[in-house]
């Protein structure tokens, strides 16, 4: 059931208990976790933190901890499946779920005792009413004494309606309000919200935007909500006479450029490696490089300055940089090079934009060092979000730079060597094992970013109008020893994408029909749904890959 | 007036009187044949030389009282060191610094800066300190530790925190410079007695080891020049 008063029904319940926190592996969940940890530290609540990466992990973690804990808090996992059936918990286990995955499973919505959803109900959920779905059970009982002829037609009619309603409801999968923002609201209700928590909530929201999980409209609306909180915090402590110490954290609204990590890199590198600019200029071709030079010349920026570290650029250039770039980019067809976001500033040296921190944390979370387990990287990524661990954040930024460069190079090579094949109903690309940096793409978030950039680049580079409307399926080797391949599918590129699109049980059917050994482990997929999905990630045995794809082609065409 | 015993300076007593507390450091000399003069050698052979860690001084400083404004309510609490409370939201109450910092970190209170932690007052004190040759009275016997603790944990409750930090550092630097000068002249002129008012425990602690060890070494040097007079007698005061 949905929780109406988050303070009474959630916080006051767990504050005197021992709680297990099961946190999914994405940046939004990490930020939500930080906020919850800070609240728990204030009230000295005992908790155990367990990172989970998929459904199997969730099951194992639950089995390990179910003896000791009655209260479980799940962040960014568990809302879109029938949790009770999957985990088979005892009668007295209570689950608090704060998840962005939609649609919320109807069984979770209508369970009154064990499942409490920390989700705002006005999030346009469209949950079908109880009567529509569960009525057929009562009707069947009451039909004992009914007419025989009527008995035949009524239950089937109702069941069809029930199926239809459920099908409509679960048709599209998408993401709702950020978990970090939900928990920030909890902190606000408790009057314990600090600037640190506000910053984490902003990072959670920005993560949803960077990884393309929410629509632009929703992003802008949520930014406005955060902006209200930011103004409230900024007015709280500052007077004209008594200004704050320089070490205090200051969050400010920025209408900043869409160039990834540009303040920690050189402007030139950032333009070359940001998806938006690189695809618009087509920087993998010679023509594109020339256009870039023209663009820089048009703005009057000397090459020497532009290739320097951003912090060392001439102050006179830095002052009007954003306006100058915006003007020139309008001429080159890049209408929205500026995006609304927030920046933080503490001490004399440290300025970060929210997207910088998202990229750094994602790079740390998915770093592919040899002797690092999933929980090591999780803890490192969690650490980099605190203000006291700046070296880790800088390390993350360096890793993120390498990751972005790798993505751009892979995209460039795929386009130039025509690795993207049009397989009828979709586009397909497979990264061979020897490709440089292919290890980076064995992780879901990195692979997803690569997919999106690749599709955008392809759409810009191809002249075939039909191909521009096709979705993309990408496969990359996941684990060389186990011989598995990770496959991701994303919907076609469209101007007004509502991020609610399809991929069909085609994947599942193809897997079944070819008896491929697949593992639908990632939280963004649900294996037993009739639903259509906007992002689908599965693991597959390498040998089964070609069979699977052939089956998929036949199914979708 | 120098205290002279048996025709040679055998011990020195260094007094310092400050606001509430008073500490005296003494050293025990023991003559050892070898005139090695390294600092550590002196220390090794003086097991009774007291050293105090700055963190211990900070611990003592945390017993000072400071005013907070809590946002929770709690009845009076009875601790071994005294009673505290009762706590009512919005009403100021005096608590020790250790409790104030703990509550602040748990976001349960707002700390009110002490009266002396004000830019104008500190500027006056700094000017006075620079003018005088002797040590001027301090705003609080633990001014340095309290400034550090409060500004590190509660700088958002203290207006003009950066300027206050700079001013307190200036005052500290001036006083330590005076202390160094005074210790230098004490040692070089072989005085036997000195009286310094208005020193705080932290400042004394900063010079304690050096001053006592160097006086000890000086004594050894001098006693070794007169081989007959003090044969291995340990004198302590």
**Is some CB atom of chain A closer than 8 A to the CB atom of B76?**
no
Percent of chain B with pLDDT over 90: 49
Residues of A in contact with B158 (CB under 8 A): 245
**Is some CB atom of chain A closer than 8 A to the CB atom of B89?**
no
**Is some CB atom of chain A closer than 8 A to the CB atom of B5?**
no
Give every CB contact of residue A418 below 8 A, 6+ residues apart in sequence: none
What letter would DSSP give residue A260? Answer: T
Q: Write the CA distances from B118 to A236, B111, B165, integer angstroms.
A: 21, 14, 11
Q: Write the CA distances from A371 to A57, A374, A397, A454, A486, integer angstroms.
A: 20, 10, 21, 30, 21
**Is some CB atom of chain A closer than 8 A to the CB atom of B108?**
yes
B237 — pLDDT class (breaks 50, 70, 90): very low
CB nearest B159 (choices: A41, A43, A242): A242
Nearest chain A Cα distance for residue B52, angstroms: 29
Transcribe A427-479 into DSSP letters. EEEE--TTSTTGGGGGSHHHHHHHHHHHHHHHHHH---TTGGG--EEEEEEEE
CB atoms within 10 A of CB A176: 22
For an interface test with B, which of A247, A248, A346 has the most B Cβ atoms less than 10 Å from its Cβ? A247
A14: closest CA among A33, A38, A40?
A: A40
**Is some CB atom of chain A closer than 8 A to the CB atom of B150?**
no
**Is some CB atom of chain A closer than 8 A to the CB atom of B231?**
no
- A244 to B155: CB separation less than 8 angstroms, yes or no: yes
Q: Is the pTM of this model over 0.90?
A: no
What's the confidence (pLDDT) of residue B42?
44
CB nearest B155 (choices: A44, A194, A245): A245
Beta pairing partners, A435:
none
* Residues A345/A253, Cβ–Cβ less than 8 Å: no
Residues of A in contact with B160 (CB under 8 A): 242-243
Mean pLDDT of chain B: 78
Residue B159 pLDDT > 70, yes or no? yes
**Is some CB atom of chain A closer than 8 A to the CB atom of B162?**
yes
Nearest chain A Cα distance for residue B72, angstroms: 12
Domains delineated in chain B: 7-34+48-222 (1.20.58.1020)
Task: Please name the residue that has the structure tokens 């290739």.
Answer: A307
Residues of A in contact with B71 (CB under 8 A): 191
Beta B93-96 vs A484-490: how paired, if at all? unpaired
Q: What H or E segment, with its residue span, contains residue B159?
A: none
Residue B48 pLDDT > 80, yes or no? no
Q: How far apart are CA A83 and CA A77, in angstroms?
A: 10
Q: Write the CA distances from B88 to A42, A66, B56, B69, B209, integer angstroms.
A: 18, 40, 32, 8, 46
**Is some CB atom of chain A closer than 8 A to the CB atom of B163?**
no
**Is some CB atom of chain A closer than 8 A to the CB atom of B106?**
yes
What's the confidence (pLDDT) of residue A353?
94
- A243 to B160: CB separation less than 8 angstroms, yes or no: yes
- B107 to A194: CB separation less than 8 angstroms, yes or no: yes
Residues of B in contact with A242 (CB under 8 A): 159-160
**A205 in helix, strand or coil?**
helix
What letter would DSSP give residue A244? Answer: P
Nearest chain B Cα distance for residue A14, angstroms: 17
Q: How far apart are CA B197 and CA B16, in angstroms?
A: 6
**What angle do helix axes A27-43 and A354-365 make, rounded to 10 degrees?**
100
Nearest chain B Cα distance for residue A251, angstroms: 14
What's the confidence (pLDDT) of residue A344?
92
Nearest chain B Cα distance for residue A45, angstroms: 12
Q: Which residues of A touch B (CB under 8 A)?
A: 41-44, 191-192, 194, 237, 239, 241-248
- B156 to A192: CB separation less than 8 angstroms, yes or no: no
Q: How far apart are CA A371 and CA A321, in angstroms?
A: 42
Half-sphere exposure of A41 (CA within 13 A, CB side): 12
Q: How far apart are CA A445 and CA A486, in angstroms?
A: 12
Residue B4 pLDDT > 80, yes or no? no
Across A290-299, B5-14, B45-54, B178-187, least confident range? B5-14
What letter would DSSP give residue A118? Answer: -
- From the options 3.30.1490, 1.20.1070, 2.40.70, 3.10.310, give the CATH code of A419-556: 3.10.310
Beta pairing partners, B67:
B94, B112
* Residues B175/B141, Cβ–Cβ less than 8 Å: no
Task: State how far Cα B180 lies from the chain centre.
Answer: 14
CB within 8 Å of chain A, chain B residues 8-47: none
> Per residue of chain A (557 residues), what is the pLDDT tens digit?
888 898 999 999 998 999 999 999 999 999 999 999 999 999 999 999 999 988 888 999 999 998 899 999 999 988 888 888 888 888 889 999 999 888 888 888 888 889 999 988 866 677 777 776 666 544 444 444 444 444 445 556 666 777 787 777 777 777 889 999 999 999 999 988 899 999 999 999 999 999 888 888 899 999 999 999 999 988 876 655 556 777 788 899 999 998 999 999 999 999 999 988 998 888 888 988 999 999 999 888 888 888 989 988 888 888 888 888 988 888 888 888 899 999 998 888 889 999 999 999 999 998 888 777 888 899 999 999 998 889 999 999 999 999 999 999 999 988 888 888 887 778 888 888 878 888 888 888 888 889 889 988 888 888 877 777 788 888 888 877 777 788 887 777 765 555 554 554 566 667 677 666 666 666 665 433 323 334 566 677 777 777 777 877 777 76
Half-sphere exposure of A144 (CA within 13 A, CB side): 3
Q: How far apart are CA A299 and CA A301, in angstroms?
A: 6
Q: Where are the beta strands (DSSP E) in chain B?
A: 13-17, 22-25, 65-70, 77-79, 82-84, 93-96, 109-112, 193-197
Residue environment code for B4-13, b if the CB has 16+ CB neighbours within 10 A, otherwise e? eeeeebbbbe
What's the confidence (pLDDT) of residue B43?
47
Q: How far apart are CA A126 and CA A134, in angstroms?
A: 16
Residue A198 is encoded by which pair of tokens?
Answer: 């506000």
**B89 in helix, strand or coil?**
coil
For an interface test with B, which of A37, A38, A245 has the most B Cβ atoms less than 10 Å from its Cβ? A245
- A191 to B106: CB separation less than 8 angstroms, yes or no: no
What's the confidence (pLDDT) of residue A526?
40
Q: How far apart are CA A398 and CA A403, in angstroms?
A: 9
Residues of A in contact with B106 (CB under 8 A): 41-44
What's the confidence (pLDDT) of residue A45?
93
Transcribe B15-42 into DSSP letters. EEE-SS-EEEE---B---S-----HHHH
Beta pairing partners, B162:
none
What's the confidence (pLDDT) of residue A149?
44
Beta A19-24 vs A536-541: how paired, if at all? unpaired
- From the options 3.40.50.300, 3.10.20.30, 3.30.565.10, 3.40.50.2300, give the CATH code of A6-174: 3.40.50.2300
Q: At A309, phi and psi to the nearest 5? A: -60, 140
**Is some CB atom of chain A closer than 8 A to the CB atom of B107?**
yes
Nearest chain A Cα distance for residue B105, angstroms: 7
What's the confidence (pLDDT) of residue A125?
72
Residues of B in contact with A247 (CB under 8 A): 155, 161
Across the A:B interface, residue pairs with CB atoms under 8 Å apart total 29
CB nearest A242 (choices: B71, B107, B160): B160
Cis ω before A103 (30° cut-off from 0): yes
Q: Tell me the helices (H) and strands (E) count for chain B, helix number first.
A: 7, 8
Query: What are the structural domain ranges in chain A?
Result: 6-174, 213-407, 419-556
- A42 to B155: CB separation less than 8 angstroms, yes or no: no
Q: How far apart are CA B13 and CA A262, in angstroms?
A: 64
């Amino acid at each position: 059931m949905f929780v109406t008063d988050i303070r009474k029904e959630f916080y006051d319940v767990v504050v005197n208990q021992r709680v297990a926190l099961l946190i999914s592996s994405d940046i939004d969940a990490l930020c939500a976790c930080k906020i919850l940890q800070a609240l728990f530290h204030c009230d000295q609540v005992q908790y155990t933190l367990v990172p989970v990466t998929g459904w199997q992990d969730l099951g194992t973690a639950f089995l390990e901890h179910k003896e000791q804990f009655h209260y479980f808090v799940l962040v960014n996992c568990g809302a879109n499946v029938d949790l009770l059936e999957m985990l088979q918990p005892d009668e007295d286990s209570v689950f608090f779920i704060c998840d962005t995955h939609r649609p919320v499973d109807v069984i979770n919505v209508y369970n009154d005792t064990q499942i409490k959803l920390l989700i705002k109900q006005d999030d346009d959920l469209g949950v079908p009413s109880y009567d529509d779905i569960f009525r057929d059970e009562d009707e069947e009982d009451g039909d004992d004494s009914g007419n025989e002829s009527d008995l035949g037609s009524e239950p089937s009619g109702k069941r069809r309606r029930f199926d239809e309603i459920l099908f409509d409801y679960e048709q599209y999968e998408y993401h709702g309000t950020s978990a970090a923002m939900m928990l920030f609201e909890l902190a606000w209700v408790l009057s314990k919200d600090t600037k640190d928590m506000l910053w984490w909530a902003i990072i959670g929201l920005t993560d949803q935007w960077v990884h393309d999980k929410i629509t632009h409209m929703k992003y802008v609306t949520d930014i406005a909500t955060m902006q209200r909180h930011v103004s409230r915090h900024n007015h709280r402590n500052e007077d004209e006479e008594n200004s704050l110490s320089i070490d205090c954290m200051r969050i400010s609204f920025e209408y900043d450029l869409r160039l990834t990590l540009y303040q920690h890199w050189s402007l030139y590198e950032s333009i070359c490696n940001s998806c938006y600019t690189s695809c618009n200029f087509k920087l993998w071709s010679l023509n594109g490089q020339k256009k870039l030079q023209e663009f820089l010349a048009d703005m009057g920026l000397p090459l020497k300055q532009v290739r320097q570290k951003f912090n060392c650029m001439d102050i006179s250039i830095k002052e009007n940089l954003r306006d100058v770039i915006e003007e020139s980019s309008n001429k080159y067809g890049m209408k929205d090079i500026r995006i609304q976001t927030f920046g933080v500033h503490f001490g004399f040296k440290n300025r970060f934009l929210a997207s910088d921190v998202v990229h750094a944390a994602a790079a740390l979370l998915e770093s592919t060092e040899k002797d690092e387990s999933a929980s090591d990287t999780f803890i490192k990524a969690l650490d980099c979000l605190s203000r006291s661990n700046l070296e880790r954040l800088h390390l993350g930024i360096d890793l993120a730079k390498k990751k972005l460069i790798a993505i751009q190079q892979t995209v460039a090579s795929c386009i130039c060597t025509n690795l993207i094949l049009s397989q009828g109903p979709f586009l397909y690309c497979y990264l061979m094992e020897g490709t440089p940096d292919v290890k980076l793409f064995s992780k879901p978030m990195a692979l997803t970013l690569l997919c999106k950039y690749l599709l955008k680049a392809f759409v810009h580079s191809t002249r075939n109008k039909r191909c521009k409307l096709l979705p993309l399926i990408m496969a990359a080797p996941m684990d060389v020893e186990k011989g598995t391949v990770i496959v991701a599918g994303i919907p076609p590129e469209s101007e007004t994408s509502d991020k609610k699109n399809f991929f069909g049980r085609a994947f599942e059917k193809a897997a079944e029909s070819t008896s491929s050994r697949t593992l639908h482990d990632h939280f963004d997929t649900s294996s037993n749904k009739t639903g259509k999905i906007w992002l689908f990630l599965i693991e597959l045995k390498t040998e089964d890959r070609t069979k699977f794809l052939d089956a998929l082609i036949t199914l979708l065409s | 007036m120098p205290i002279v015993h048996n025709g040679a300076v055998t011990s020195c007593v260094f007094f310092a009187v400050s606001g509430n507390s008073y500490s005296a450091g003494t050293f025990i000399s023991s003559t050892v044949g070898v005139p090695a003069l390294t600092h550590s050698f002196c220390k090794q052979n003086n097991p009774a030389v007291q050293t105090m860690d700055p963190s211990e001084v900070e611990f003592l400083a945390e017993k000072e009282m400071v005013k907070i404004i809590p946002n929770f309510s709690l009845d009076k609490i009875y601790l071994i060191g005294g009673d505290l409370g009762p706590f009512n939201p919005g009403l100021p109450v005096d608590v020790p610094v250790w409790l104030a910092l703990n509550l602040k970190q748990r976001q349960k209170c707002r700390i009110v800066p002490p009266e002396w932690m004000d830019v104008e007052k500190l500027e006056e004190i700094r000017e006075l300190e620079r003018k005088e040759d002797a040590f001027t009275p301090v705003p609080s016997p633990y001014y340095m530790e309290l400034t550090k603790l409060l500004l590190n944990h509660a700088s958002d409750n203290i207006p003009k925190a950066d300027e206050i930090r700079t001013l307190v550092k200036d005052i500290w630097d001036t006083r330590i410079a005076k202390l160094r000068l005074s210790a230098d002249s004490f040692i070089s002129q072989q005085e036997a007695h000195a009286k310094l008012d208005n020193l705080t425990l932290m400042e004394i602690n900063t010079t304690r080891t050096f001053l006592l060890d160097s006086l000890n070494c000086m004594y050894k040097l001098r006693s070794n020049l007169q081989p007959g007079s003090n044969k291995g007698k340990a004198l302590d005061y």
